[in-house]
Chains A and B, each alone.
Chain A
Amino acid sequence: MFGSYKVKIEGDLLDKVKQCADAGGYGSVDEFVTHVLEKEIKKVFSEGDSASRELVKKRLQGLGYID
């Protein structure tokens, strides 16, 4: 529905992004940038996702008070 979107990164920032992608073992700059964006967007979305809520629920169940 949304297709893809190209972002232009250049100069000093591009060099740093390449360095980080290499150091992190990413296959490409695209893969690294996508991963970073996913992580940041997860933080921004205020309602959290159901998987992380499920994880939190599991952690808390040992307290005894919740199902």
Chain B
Amino acid sequence: MKSNASSGYEERLNDDDRGKPVKNFSWVLAGLLLFCAIALFPSCQRASGIWHGEQKLIILGIDGMDPQLLRQFMAEGKMPNFSQLASQGSFRLLTTSIPPQSPVAWSNLITGMDAGGHGIFDFIHRDPKTMEPFFSASQVKPPKHAIHLGNWLIPLGSGSAEQLRKGTAFWEILDQHGVPNSVFRIPANFPPVPAQGETLSGMGTPDLRGTYGTFSFYTDDPSSAAGAVEGGQIIPVQVENSEVKANLIGPDNTFRKGSPVATEPFSVAIDPLEPVARIAVQDQRFVLREGEWSDWKRIEFQLIPFFGNVKGMCRFYLKQAHPRFQLYVSPINIDPADPALPISTPASYSRLLSEEAGEFYTQGIAEDTKALSAGVLDDNEYLQQARTVLAEHRRIFDMEFPKFHQGVFFFYFSSLDLNSHMFWRLMDANHPGYNAGLAAQNGLAIQEFYQQIDLVLGEVLPKLDAQTTLLVLSDHGFAPYYRSFNLNTWLLNNGYIRLKKGGIADSNEPWANVDWSQTRAYGLGLNGLYVNLGGRESNGIVEPGAASDALIKELKEKLLTVKDPQAGLSVITRVDVAREVYRGPYSNSGPDLLVGYNRGYRAGWKTILGGFPPEVLEDNLNPWSGDHCMDYTLVPGVLLSNRTVQADTPALTDIAPTILAEFGIAKSKDMIGQSVFQPKGSAP
């Protein structure tokens, strides 16, 4: 595993040793030097460019592991390995980020800074000049220039992927000090920053279409509305002589004028009697029984004949052969064996990994929650897919962990987060989406995934020795999502947003009919509230300074008084003013206010991108029934270690300093926290 990295370190060692003069010293001087060497041991290690120590650090990053659920499952004896770790070491709540969203939280962990330092404030950011939203952590850009040749458009240069997180990742600092490290699937690292060790990108990695996951569903059922659905596409097909002919939908073909989507044909021969079908795509033929998933199938999309193609891979699921044909095809993932975009360091690593561990989802959020929300997959079908995702992660873990012998090993698991999002409704009878029948089938789904993570920990615990520190941590906890608060509807109803004369509020189209010349504030993202600020927003009308400050104060006070008439509860328990809670050069580039929802509440589905549903508050009946994008104090994460955590209230921003301190490396000056193994406030 370390072959490339090790050779690099060895080369640097040889360079360092080269040309050093050998001198005779007196014993006194030698003793003095020995004293200095001991006193300055960590610095000497850093100066040499290679790590000589035996210290090891293992970090399991468990997205969304919730302290309340963990305590419950431990108390019930469901998680013996976590119980052992908590009783023999430490178990603390881990203060999450503001707001408690994964890209923000993991960026806090990665850089040791808050959003003001790393510039990630939400899943969704906006360009203040165009009001166009985009994913905060990364962007995929097409080539800037092209030559037109008839219908063909020949790009000059290739497109690029750009990571938007600022600041230095902890493993970059480890690299500078020669500490070997491997970082698997950590969010907010696409494309992966240059690194000496093996890294594999995680959340933020797009599918081959440049989206964060777009499934396809082929059916001849006339009751299924054709066209785009959330996170996918329903494609009507005809069954003729027991055969279906259709196209797989690939990336936009930027080689062609108008960038039409690239497609590859496939056919399905349906057995007229048995619930079985044979699928033929390119040179591959395989048979699926109803209810069966294929393994990964590699697909090559031809963009320009004999010149340009792009490789991806997907999985097929035959939902039904008769009486209606129903075939689900996963989002086309980047092929790790021949990635169209950079997903690992070294670049060849994803290929080696796929050769050794088999193919795996490269898409950052692999669990197809949208297919479940859209009703394309049911609970059982989605669970099969989610189990496969975790099985792939465990396969990679089982292959890589035994190779870990020095430095830092970080491994990320997504399963608890995504499956707590999808199955909260089946373990909480108070949820508006609760269904006793479905709960009887899959009410223990969340527990099942927690227990799987316990098994992973069970593989790690026996490997711990006196030189090895273990951190098991989550970026945030979890809570029910009962009711939606439509922030933009509230802003509209309260006169902060104005529509154009005669304009009608639209649920779906972002910012439809908004009169920006009369609008003072707007919500965007899951927790963000922005002032329509003069000089920042292209149509900003609120003067910076006193006017803006007064508006921020007014909004904060009003939002904290909002009550849900149905339950009589406060909807919003906390509103943070960005300039008061963030430190760093990007403090002013995000939202002006961070709206912290009470447990049970979240920003509504349509309000996040600027839609105006008619009601301010409404029940959440989406299968996505648990969430964490709330008041950050209500959804802390967890921190467990085999060592005594001295900090009473450790935070995500303490983790990078902790990692560095384990190897005698001083934290960088822009890092906020300190090692969790030192009492808070003590000198680092």
Using a CB–CB distance below 8 Å, which chain A residues touch chain B? 23-26, 46-48, 50, 52-54, 56-67
Given known contacts A23-B147, A56-B134, is B370 in contact with A62 (CB within 8 Å)? yes
Cβ contact within 8 Å between B605 and A63: no
Most buried by A among B123, B538, B609, B629: B609
Instruction: Choose one: A25, A54, A63; the contact of B212 (CB below 8 Å).
Output: A63
Given known contacts A24-B148, A46-B539, A48-B130, is B123 in contact with A65 (CB within 8 Å)? yes
Instruction: Choose one: A24, A26, A53, A59; the contact of B135 (CB below 8 Å).
Output: A59
Instruction: Choose one: B129, B212, B509, B606; the contact of A60 (CB below 8 Å).
Output: B212
User: Which residues in B have their C-beta under 8 angstroms from that of A54?
Assistant: 509
Interface string of B249-288 (1 = CB under 8 A from A): 0000000000000000000000000000000000000000
User: Which residues in B have their C-beta under 8 angstroms from that of A25?
Assistant: 148-150
Most buried by A among B129, B331, B421: B129
User: Which residues in B have their C-beta under 8 angstroms from that of A52?
Assistant: 132
Cβ contact within 8 Å between A60 and B147: no
User: Which residues in B have their C-beta under 8 angstroms from that of A67?
Assistant: 230, 605-606
Instruction: Choose one: B147, B211, B363; the contact of A59 (CB below 8 Å).
Output: B211
Cβ contact within 8 Å between B624 and A64: yes
- Alpha-carbon gap, A66 to B373, bound state (A): 11
Smallest CB-CB separation from A50: which chain B residue? Answer: B509
Q: Which of B469-486 contact A (CB under 8 A)?
A: none
Instruction: Choose one: B133, B147, B149, B370; the contact of A64 (CB below 8 Å).
Output: B370
Q: What 7 pairs across the A-B complex have the smallest Cβ distances?
A: A62-B213, A62-B212, A24-B148, A67-B605, A46-B538, A61-B231, A59-B211
User: Which residues in B have their C-beta under 8 angstroms from that of A65?
Assistant: 123, 526, 608, 624, 629
Whether, in the assembled complex, B510 has its beta carbon less than 8 Å from a beta carbon of chain A, the answer is yes
Smallest CB-CB separation from B507: which chain A residue? Answer: A67
Instruction: Choose one: B147, B373, B511; the contact of A24 (CB below 8 Å).
Output: B147
Cβ contact within 8 Å between A46 and B130: yes
User: Which residues in A have their C-beta under 8 angstroms from that of B421?
Assistant: 64
Cβ contact within 8 Å between A62 and B207: yes
- Count how many chain B residues have C-beta atoms less than 8 Å from C-beta atoms of the other chain: 45
Query: How many Å from the CB of A18 to the closest CB on chain B?
Result: 14
- Alpha-carbon gap, A57 to B124, bound state (A): 11
Query: Beyond the given A47-B539, A62-B370, A64-B231, could you list 9 further A-B residue pairs with CB under 8 A, ordered by the A residue number?
Result: A23-B147, A25-B148, A25-B150, A53-B133, A53-B510, A56-B133, A61-B370, A62-B207, A62-B212
Most buried by B among A25, A52, A56, A64: A64
Smallest CB-CB separation from A64: which chain B residue? Answer: B369
Query: How many Å from the CB of B503 to the closest CB on chain A?
Result: 13
Interface string of B119-138 (1 = CB under 8 A from A): 00001100001111111000
Instruction: Choose one: A23, A53, A59, A61; the contact of B509 (CB below 8 Å).
Output: A53
User: Which residues in A have their C-beta under 8 angstroms from that of B148?
Assistant: 23-26
Query: How many Å from the CB of B143 to the closest CB on chain A?
Result: 14
Cβ contact within 8 Å between B509 and A47: no
Smallest CB-CB separation from B133: which chain A residue? Answer: A56
Smallest CB-CB separation from A43: which chain B residue? Answer: B130
What are some 17 contacts across the A-B interface (CB < 8 A)?
A24-B147, A26-B148, A46-B129, A46-B131, A47-B539, A53-B132, A53-B609, A58-B214, A58-B228, A60-B135, A62-B212, A62-B363, A62-B365, A62-B370, A64-B370, A67-B230, A67-B605
Whether, in the assembled complex, B210 has its beta carbon less than 8 Å from a beta carbon of chain A, the answer is yes
Query: How many Å from the CB of B257 to the closest CB on chain A?
Result: 9
User: Which residues in A have their C-beta under 8 angstroms from that of B210?
Assistant: 59
Cβ contact within 8 Å between A66 and B605: yes
User: Which residues in A have their C-beta under 8 angstroms from that of B130?
Assistant: 46-48
Whether, in the assembled complex, B516 has its beta carbon less than 8 Å from a beta carbon of chain A, the answer is yes
Smallest CB-CB separation from A24: which chain B residue? Answer: B148
Interface string of B490-534 (1 = CB under 8 A from A): 000000000000000000011110001000000000100000000
- Alpha-carbon gap, A65 to B231, bound state (A): 10
User: Which residues in A have their C-beta under 8 angstroms from that of B609?
Assistant: 53, 57, 60, 66
Cβ contact within 8 Å between A58 and B526: no
User: Which residues in B have their C-beta under 8 angstroms from that of A47?
Assistant: 130-131, 511, 516, 539
Cβ contact within 8 Å between B123 and A56: no
Query: How many Å from the CB of A54 to the closest CB on chain B?
Result: 8
User: Which residues in A have their C-beta under 8 angstroms from that of B207?
Assistant: 62
Q: Which of B618-635 contact A (CB under 8 A)?
A: 624, 629
Interface string of B182-226 (1 = CB under 8 A from A): 000000000000000000000000110011111000000000000
- Alpha-carbon gap, A64 to B625, bound state (A): 11
User: Which residues in B have their C-beta under 8 angstroms from that of A24?
Assistant: 147-149
Query: How many Å from the CB of B361 to the closest CB on chain A?
Result: 12
